[in-house]
Amino acid sequence: MIVSSCPDPVPGVAQSLAARGPVPRAHGARGRSDRSLIAGALAGSEADLEALFRRYWPRAYRAAWLIVGDHAAAEDIAQEAFLSAVRRLDRFDRRRRFSPWLGTIVANRAIDWVRARTARRESGQDVPEPQAAWQYQSPGGYSEELLAAIATLSAEQRAVIVLRYVLEFTPGEIARALELPRGTVNSRLRRGLDALETQLRESELR
């Protein structure tokens, strides 16, 4: 079934994802725009490149961490995604926002990591236990109950929820980022939020 729009069926869950300890949208380097920092980085300025990294690292790490549920993997994914973006800066359309471009790379790498881990498990390989989120300070101040609920979702559901409510992509941007039909994005959002609500209600009854 194609869903034409996706109003939040459980706004409380969506708000908890977005509102707990929001990542500040830093305007470092004296408030310079992303476009200015990117131009400086392309010209060889290490200071501008570092400023761009500081501005977007917290959001990239949080997104990866919520999708993979593994601290070390999230750090690697966020770093690799940023490096990949930097290598392609000369092809980046500076009329667009940098955040969705970087977030797209992060989300796709995180999904690939989860799929690869699942494949190794299914083939009988010994897979180390993840460095779980609750073993480290939550980068978003999320409760253990919410984190445990997120862990029950598929990687694909986690990705669309993180892109929508943590990185603030529009459904259309998510569809382009993950190369999915808009209806599929809306369906995954709705099902993911419903599943989170169910998990959280069950945890309250325990």
Residue 136's pLDDT is 46
Question: 171: Cβ–Cβ under 8 A, 6 or more apart, which residues?
Answer: 6, 164, 182, 185, 186, 189
Number of structural domains found in the chain: 1
In a domain, 1, yes or no: no
Residue 26's pLDDT is 46
Give the separation between CA 7 and CA 136, rounded to whole angstroms. 33
In a domain, 149, yes or no: yes
Q: What are the angstrom distances between the C-alpha of 184 and each of 79, 127, 154, 189?
A: 29, 31, 14, 9
Residue 138's pLDDT is 54
Residue 4's pLDDT is 35
Is residue 167 within 8 Å of residue 108, measured between CB atoms? Answer: no
For the whole model, what pTM was predicted? 0.78
Residue 24's pLDDT is 46
In a domain, 118, yes or no: yes
In a domain, 21, yes or no: yes
Q: What is the mean pLDDT of each run of 10 residues along the chain (206 residues)?
A: 40 59 48 90 93 91 90 92 92 86 94 87 64 51 82 90 91 93 95 91 79
In a domain, 5, yes or no: no
Residue 30's pLDDT is 56
**Domain carrying residue 67:** 11-205
